[in-house]
Chain A
Amino acid sequence: MDDAGFTKCERCGQPIYEKDLLTRFNVCPHCEFHFPLPAPERIRLLTDSGSFEERDRGMTAGDPLGFEGYEERLSRARMNTGLSDAVVSGVGKIGGRPVALAVMDFRFIGGSMGSVVGERVARTIELASAEGLPLVAVSASGGARMYEGVYSLMQLAKTSVALTRYIEGSLPYVSVLTDPTFGGVTASFATAADVIIAEPGARIGFAGARVIEQTTRERLPEGFQTAEFQRDHGMVDRIVHRLALKGDLERLLGFVA
């Protein structure tokens, strides 16, 4: 963000009033580019005013491997975001209907999935089961949290075992994929949903385009791994503009919740 209340859209290059960006939840008013959205803003966007109650707020990451630089990286992320880890979870209402909600925040170490993300997502799934609520997860993640090594990898298994219980029931699970969602998060809970919604232009995949180009030297087509690409390949149900997302979820939950 620049001074004087102006910023420049990284997609179309047009100047934007920061105030406009704020009221449009980080969507460019000129080209509709969806900038990443902090989790608290996402919760404000999706839930009925004043209805959200955060859970497991005090849970904090350990440093299971004593990995060089991790503690420092964690405290910097906490300071910069005001969050304790890369997901905020709890219960809120969407169009008057209570849901269990987990929302990731890419600003926190690239939305990487460590033990706290895995545990909060698993608890949100269990909360939804216990209280008979629909489950909504909003992802934004670069993948695994390398600093936690194999513990990070095991969060894929953790969220998956928790989900197998939930889907035995008849409650819906809706996954919303935002820019960017990759790696361990897409290879586990984010793609195991009844309905998958993605934001326009969001980059979604397993391996990042740069890694693919480096390892295979393949030329990747225009729009590779965008939400639209994933929908065209049958991987995503719908693409929904951020400002229409709440209404879209209300419609969906009206059918299945």
Chain B
Amino acid sequence: MILEFERPIRELEERIAELHRLAGPSAGLQAEISRLEGALDTAKRRIYANLSPYQRVQVARHPDRPNFRAYRDVLSDDFYELSGDRFFGDDPAVRGGLARLKRGGHNVVLLGHDKGGDTRSRVKGNFGMAHPEGYRKVKRLYELAGRFGLPIVVLVDTPGAFAGRGGEERGQAWAISADLMALARAPVPVISIIIGEGGSGGALAMCVADYVGMLENSYLSVIAPEACASIIFRDPGRAAEAAEALKLTARDLKQHGIVDEVLPEPLGGAHKEPETAIREVGDALDRVISGLSEADPGALIEARHERYRRIGTHAAGDTG
């Protein structure tokens, strides 16, 4: 899939490939090829270094972007999956289990939204939009992590919690609220990295954490920019403006003190070089888990409480 703003890059790439084909083994077109390669390099830097917020949202949604499965497979040498909410079913939109991370050998509970890798798994995983049973499975695993003193590691990648009849019948809001409460009191380190989409409550249920990292082109937002444009600007065509206004990019959120770190992506986005992005996340996880491994459970909960209790902007009122 080619994103709109990637078109000039793709065109240069195609022309270079064509010249190579025409030139065959001869060096006749080498000068022209070199010139185009220079132009390609410049275009890449110019375009990718200045992505607008809405372009980043598109990169975050790119179907080739490495997903939970890719991270899980590369970063852990044993993933012991655990399923089900013990009540209704198993929601494949979120997965979790016990995992041993290759970097540092840490035993953790690893969770994440699973957007799937091909059409079939994408549909099966409902594009990473979980139902209440998914959020209840997640809560079960948060509590299991607490019981066994294992850090909770979450890879967030969801357009949002699913909005549908079944979800409402089974208490979507209740399930998310319970996750927020469970994370708030988890007596183990909670480490969340947003690897793609961070859509509203469905993402927050998995990132009330001691450390929140964001890949450079991921986003976290209270609402999808398209929906925001429809509601606030009454014009879904103004999604790019809404994305700008919502301050949903990793850099904006770091600046506002909402997240701890922006993890760099390869030029053009994680889908251009998945292994580089995955390695970046793996390194961050090792560093953060090591840093929190000696933390006292009470102190962790206290610090997490302070962190989220503080966020907000209001002019102080009388307290009396």
Could you tell me which A residues sit within 8 Å of B by CB distance?
55-65, 67-69, 84, 115-116, 118-119, 122-123, 144, 146-158, 160-165, 182-184, 186-192, 205-207, 211-212, 215-216, 218, 220-221, 224-225, 233-235
For the complex of A and B, 9 pairs with smallest distance between CB atoms: A59-B317, A207-B163, A115-B312, A186-B173, A62-B313, A58-B317, A160-B180, A206-B172, A206-B173
Can you pick out 25 interface pairs between chain A and chain B where the beta carbons lie within 8 Å of each other?
A: A56-B317, A57-B318, A58-B316, A62-B315, A64-B313, A119-B314, A144-B223, A150-B248, A151-B311, A151-B313, A153-B222, A154-B204, A156-B204, A162-B309, A164-B181, A164-B184, A187-B205, A192-B177, A206-B167, A206-B172, A206-B201, A207-B172, A211-B163, A224-B168, A234-B171
Q: Out of A148, A191, A220, A234, which one reaches B165, CB within 8 Å?
A: A220
Tell me, in angstroms, the Cα distance from A122 to B184 when the chains sit together.
14
Q: Does B278 have its Cβ within 8 Å of any Cβ on chain A?
A: no
- Give the total of B residues in contact with A, Cβ under 8 Å: 52
Q: Which A residues are CB-close (under 8 A) to B176?
A: 187-188, 206
Give chain B residues whose Cβ lies under 8 Å from the Cβ of A191.
171, 173-174, 177
* Assembled-state Cα–Cα distance A189/B313 (Å): 19
Is B314 within 8 A of A116, CB to CB? yes
Are B317 and A64 in touch, CB under 8 angstroms?
Answer: no
Residues of A within 8 A of B231 (CB): 146
Q: Is B100 an interface residue (CB 8 A)?
A: no
Closest-by-CB residue of B relative to A115 is: B312
B56 within 8 A of A: no
Question: Is B20's beta carbon under 8 Å from chain A?
Answer: no
User: Which of A58, A122, A155, A233 contacts B318 (CB under 8 A)?
Assistant: A58
Apart from A62-B314, A153-B201, A216-B163: 12 A-B pairs, beta carbons within 8 A = A65-B245, A115-B314, A149-B245, A156-B204, A161-B305, A162-B309, A187-B205, A192-B178, A206-B176, A211-B163, A221-B165, A224-B165
Question: What's the least CB distance linking B232 to chain A, in Å?
Answer: 6
> How far is A189 from B184 in the complex, measured between Cα atoms in Å?
13
Whether B316 and A59, one on each chain, are in contact in the complex, defined by CB atoms closer than 8 angstroms, is yes
Instruction: Decide yes or no whether B55 CB sits under 8 A from chain A.
Output: no
Q: Name the contact of B222 in the complex, choosing from A116, A150, A160 (C-beta under 8 A).
A: A150
Query: Max chain A CB contacts within 10 Å: which of B170, B174, B253, B318?
Result: B174
Query: Which chain A positions have C-beta within 8 A of B304?
Result: 161
B227 — nearest CB in chain A belongs to which residue?
A211
The distance in angstroms between the C-alpha atoms of A68 and B319, with both chains bound, is 30
Kindly identify which residue among A69, A123, A157, A218 contacts B164, using a CB–CB cutoff of 8 Å. Answer: A218
Residues of B bordering A, CB below 8 Å: 161, 163-165, 167-174, 176-178, 180-181, 184-185, 200-201, 204-205, 208, 220-223, 228, 231-232, 245-248, 253, 256, 258, 304-305, 308-309, 311-320
Inter-chain CA distance A60–B312, complex, in Å, is: 12
CB <8 Å contact, A61 and B223: no
How many Å lie between the Cα of A147 and that of B246 in the bound state?
Answer: 8
Taking CB as reference atom, which chain B residue is nearest A53?
B320
Q: Which residues of B contact A212 (CB under 8 A)?
A: 163-165, 168
Q: How many Å lie between the Cα of A119 and that of B314 in the bound state?
A: 8
Q: Is there an interface contact between A144 and B163, defined as CB atoms closer than 8 Å?
A: no
| Bound Cα distance A61, B312 (Å) | 9
| Closest Cβ–Cβ distance, residue A73 to chain B (whole Å) | 9
Per the bound structure, the CA–CA distance linking A161 and B311 in Å amounts to: 12
With a CB–CB cut-off of 8 A, which chain B residues contact A192?
177-178, 181
B309 to chain A minimum Cβ distance, whole angstroms, is: 6
Q: Which residue of chain A has the shortest Cβ distance to B185 in the bound complex? A: A164
Whether A215 touches B222, Cβ cut-off 8 Å, given contacts A67-B245, A205-B168, A224-B168, is: no
Q: Is the CB of B319 within 8 A of A55?
A: yes
Cβ 8 A contact of A69, one of B168, B184, B232, B317 = B232
Chain B's nearest CB lies how many Å from the CB of A8? 28
Report the bound CA distance from A148 to B180 in whole Å: 20
Q: Are B256 and A119 in contact (CB under 8 A)?
A: no
Within the complex, the shortest CB–CB distance from B91 to chain A, in Å, comes to: 15
Indicate which residue in B245, B246, B308 contacts A154 across the interface (CB closer than 8 Å): B308
* Chain A residues near B167 (CB-CB < 8 A): 206-207
> Please, which residues of chain B bring their CB within 8 A of the CB of A63?
313
Smallest CB-CB separation from B316: which chain A residue?
A: A59
Q: How far is the CA of A35 from the CA of B86 in the complex (A)?
A: 39
How far, in angstroms, from A122 to B308 measured CA to CA in the complex?
11
Task: Answer whether A147 and B232 are a contact pair too, CB < 8 Å, given A60-B314, A162-B309.
Answer: yes
| Residues of B with C-beta under 8 A to A158 | 308-309, 311-312
CA distance in complex: A205, B177 (Å): 12
Query: What is the bound-complex CA distance between A29 and B292, given in angstroms?
Result: 61
